């Protein structure tokens, strides 16, 4: 426990806050592009420790939140097919589609199972050869290598009943799109888990093209406060760059083996992000070589309904950092974690749930 305590040490956090206050001379908005960071920032009340000049805004880093409603609709349609088992991480089953959720389909008799790892889905496929097992592959560079490993393993075992419905995404196009759209951002608190896989190279364009710094951060209060300090130093000295604060987990080159497997199975393709629309090459599509494992190419999706976003939900603007959860008139009244209207309240990494739990 001592290890964690050190990263939550009050005196260290206060000292970092004092240093930030000392050197910060101009108003800045720093965006954390990771839902895990949003949760920690709200849980530990970090905004209250920062000077008025520094505002933290949350971005499009919650994988469940940015996943499109049409993706859920298609997953629902898959679940209604005979002999299909849907396997998914927990949060996704409660995300509303246009007319249903996977949770409702499960209650109505569909075989929808929550798994803790894609390898659990693979196990179900081995054990149930008469069924088609579909794994809902969502998430960024953090989870995509695991999905790739499962597909490679299924290929080795010549499984014919394991499929992935991929909505995996990569982070840099979204970070660039926000700046292109004119969202006011003065620096990025870079995602820690994504960067353990990718390393720092994927962010190098941000200082070069846009003149903004990126500091890859850990998840504890001292990590985040130190990352803020590093960004403020960059801004105040006019030297934007990519730095790693989370050195105990992130190597500059990332995890080469994981990247290699990801590139073997996936290729870049255009993808849709809630709030940002279609971004070029922001998605990871299953390569034709592994098409036999691609759910979209092998499973029917009858009964798809037209796409409709929930009325009044402003998740899109929240994911772009231009509105905060409390700006939504449904927040904490009509929309709660128990009865969520939008994906930002469903997900354990969603900004609306973070504010609901820690900053109402
Ligand atoms: S509070 Fe609910 S309805 Fe409002 S933006 Fe968040 S998820 Fe959407």
Helix, strand or coil, per DSSP, at residue 215 = strand
CB atoms under 10 Å from CB of 135, counted, come to: 30
In this structure, the residue with its CA closest to atom 3 of ligand 1 is 313
pLDDT for position 113: 97
pLDDT for position 1: 46
Ligand 1: which of 65, 315, 327 to mutate, judged by most atoms within 8 Å of the beta carbon? 315
Rounded mean pLDDT for each run of 10 residues along the chain, 360 residues in total:
72 95 97 93 95 95 88 93 93 88 95 95 97 96 96 97 96 94 94 95 96 97 97 97 97 97 96 89 96 95 65 90 93 92 87 92
Q: Helix 221-237 vs helix 10-23: angle between axes, to the nearest 10 degrees?
A: 10
Rounded CA-CA distance 154/341 in Å is 36
Judge if the beta carbon of residue 64 lies within 6 A of ligand 1: no
Q: Are 335 and 328 in contact (CB under 8 A)?
A: yes
Rounded CA-CA distance 111/313 in Å is 29
Judge if the beta carbon of residue 96 lies within 6 A of ligand 1: no
Q: Are 137 and 166 in contact (CB under 8 A)?
A: yes
């Amino acid at each position: 426990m001592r290890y964690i305590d050190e990263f939550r040490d009050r005196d260290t956090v206060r000292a970092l806050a004092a240093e930030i206050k000392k050197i910060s001379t101009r108003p800045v908005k720093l965006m954390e592009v990771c839902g895990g960071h949003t949760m920690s920032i709200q849980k530990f009340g970090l905004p209250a420790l920062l000077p008025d000049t520094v505002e933290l805004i949350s971005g499009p880093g919650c994988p469940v939140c940015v996943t499109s409603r049409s993706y859920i609709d298609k997953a629902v349609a898959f679940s209604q097919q005979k002999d299909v088992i849907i396997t998914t991480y927990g949060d996704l089953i409660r995300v509303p589609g246009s007319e249903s959720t996977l949770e409702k389909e499960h209650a109505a008799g569909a075989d929808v199972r929550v798994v803790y790892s894609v390898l659990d889905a693979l196990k179900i496929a081995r054990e149930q050869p008469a069924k088609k097992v579909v794994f809902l592959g969502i998430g960024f560079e953090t989870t995509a290598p695991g999905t790739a490993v499962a597909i490679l393993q299924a290929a080795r075992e010549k499984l014919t009943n394991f499929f992935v419905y991929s909505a995996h995404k990569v982070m840099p196009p979204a970070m660039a799109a926000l700046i292109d759209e004119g969202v006011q951002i003065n620096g990025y608190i870079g995602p820690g888990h994504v960067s353990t896989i990718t390393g720092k190279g994927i962010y190098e364009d941000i200082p070069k093209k846009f003149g903004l710094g990126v500091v890859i951060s850990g998840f504890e209060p001292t990590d985040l406060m130190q990352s803020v300090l590093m960004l403020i130093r960059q801004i105040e000295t006019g030297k934007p760059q990519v730095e790693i604060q989370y050195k105990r987990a992130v190597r500059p080159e990332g995890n080469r083996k994981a990247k290699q497997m990801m590139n073997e199975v996936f290729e870049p393709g255009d993808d849709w992000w809630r709030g940002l629309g279609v971004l070029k090459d922001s998605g990871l599509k299953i390569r034709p070589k592994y098409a036999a494992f691609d759910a979209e190419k092998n499973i029917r999706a009858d009964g798809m309904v037209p796409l409709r976003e929930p009325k009044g939900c402003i998740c899109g603007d929240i994911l772009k950092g231009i509105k905060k959860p409390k700006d939504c008139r449904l927040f904490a009244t009509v929309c709660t974690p128990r009865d969520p209207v939008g994906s930002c309240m469903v997900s354990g990494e969603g900004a609306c749930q973070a504010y609901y739990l820690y900053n109402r």
